[in-house]
Amino acid sequence: MKRLLSLPVIFAVAAATILLANPAAFAKVEWAEINKLELGDKPLDIAIAGDGSSAYILGKKDIQIYSFRENKITDTIELKEEFDQLAIAPDGENLLLASSKDKKLSVIHISQTFTIDIGASPVIGQKNAPVAVFAFLDFQCPYCARIFPTLEQLLDKYPKDVKLVIKHFPLRMHKFAEQASVAALAAEKQDKYREMTKILFNNFNKLNDQTIKQYAQEAGLNMAEFDKAAADPDFKNQVNQDIRLGTQVKVRGVPALYIGGKPVKDRTIEALSQMVEEELKKK
């Protein structure tokens, strides 16, 4: 005669089977408090950004933004109304606020502005131009090669107002991208950075040890001086600094453009011009 097991018994047997088959299930969770903050208001809800970089903490009067990288509250969004529920839209650019009491919903658009320093990077265009366009690029990236003529077009359109600063962001999948970046920086020693950059992008799919030197000759460089400069470890260190900077400003892929510290989404000349005009009005 068969006996039917009740649901609790079935669950118990299943749990015992899992534990016996997987001893790691007995492992303990270790934890440690790494930070403790005093908030200005009682938290009502918390939402984590899609990229895991920050948390949005909803209070009665504001939303406080906590940075996991910096381990502190980095910004505050003031609220004119009270809400008790908070969510982040999948695009990461809109916050949804809801009130269970008043049956209302509010959508807040958010955009981040980053502080990016020129540092030791060469400047293409007028060095004293008021608007800087920062471009994180890879010399073997076809999309970067495609955007460079548009950036040159922007420089030609605003010869006194716009300067271009390339931050080198070679991807690991591109074998000669870092070498090309070092070559471009070495060309700056002979005031040929723009010429070398243009030639490298025009030949993005042909880069190797031999062709990079060939393109240096085409740029009109003194090869003895170029070889000496290209061997300088400072240039490789500069590339690594650019990569770290890109990580800090949330570069997820190349090309990545920033105008006024804001990420550029529409890379058409019309959209870029509009962002430049907005920055010029601020100046």
* pLDDT at residue 200 greater than cutoff 50: yes
**Do 84 and 188 fall into the same domain?**
no
Give CA–CA dist 155/245, Å, rounded: 24
The whole-number pLDDT of residue 265 equals 92
**Do 142 and 240 fall into the same domain?**
yes
Mean pLDDT for 210-214 is 98
Mean pLDDT for 83-105 is 92
* pLDDT at residue 225 greater than cutoff 80: yes
Minimum mean pLDDT range among 47-61, 227-241, 266-280: 47-61
In contact, 56 and 88? CB cutoff 8 Å: yes
Residue 257 maps to a domain: yes
Q: How confident is the model at residue 34 (pLDDT cuts 50, 70, 90)?
A: confident
**Do 134 and 100 fall into the same domain?**
no
The whole-number pLDDT of residue 192 equals 98
User: The whole model's pTM is what?
Assistant: 0.77
* pLDDT at residue 92 greater than cutoff 90: no
**Do 68 and 206 fall into the same domain?**
no
The whole-number pLDDT of residue 111 equals 84
**Do 156 and 90 fall into the same domain?**
no
Residue 50 maps to a domain: yes
Relative to beta strand 162-168, strand 131-137 is parallel
Residue 92 maps to a domain: yes
**Do 97 and 210 fall into the same domain?**
no
* pLDDT higher at 52 or 162: 162
Which of 238, 231, 230 shows the shortest CA–CA distance to 192?
230
Give CA–CA dist 65/91, Å, rounded: 17
**Do 185 and 272 fall into the same domain?**
yes
* pLDDT higher at 110 or 200: 200
- Which token pair is 76? 């505050």
Residue 249 maps to a domain: yes
* pLDDT at residue 6 greater than cutoff 80: no
**Do 160 and 242 fall into the same domain?**
yes
Mean pLDDT for 138-144 is 98
The whole-number pLDDT of residue 4 equals 45
**Do 132 and 89 fall into the same domain?**
no
**Do 178 and 135 fall into the same domain?**
yes
Q: How many structural domains compose the chain?
A: 2
* pLDDT at residue 240 greater than cutoff 80: yes
**Do 263 and 210 fall into the same domain?**
yes
The whole-number pLDDT of residue 70 equals 86
Which of 231, 219, 210, 152 shows the shortest CA–CA distance to 190?
219
Residue 149 maps to a domain: yes
Categorise residue 254: left if φ over 0, alpha if ψ from -120 to 50, beta otherwise. beta
Residue 26 maps to a domain: no
* pLDDT higher at 187 or 5: 187
CATH number of the domain encompassing residue 169? 3.40.30.10
Last residue of a domain, one of 54, 79, 109: 109
The whole-number pLDDT of residue 3 equals 43
Residue 1 maps to a domain: no
Cis peptide before 255 (omega within 30 of 0): yes
The domain in which residue 151 lies consists of 123-282
Last residue of a domain, one of 109, 139, 155: 109
Give CA–CA dist 122/261, Å, rounded: 18
Relative to beta strand 72-78, strand 54-58 is unpaired
**Do 253 and 141 fall into the same domain?**
yes
CATH number of the domain encompassing residue 49? 2.40.10
Place of tokens 């870092």: 178
What is the chain's mean pLDDT, rounded? 91
* pLDDT at residue 273 greater than cutoff 50: yes
219 Cβ contact list (under 8 Å, min separation 6): 187, 192, 195, 196, 199
Give CA–CA dist 241/235, Å, rounded: 10
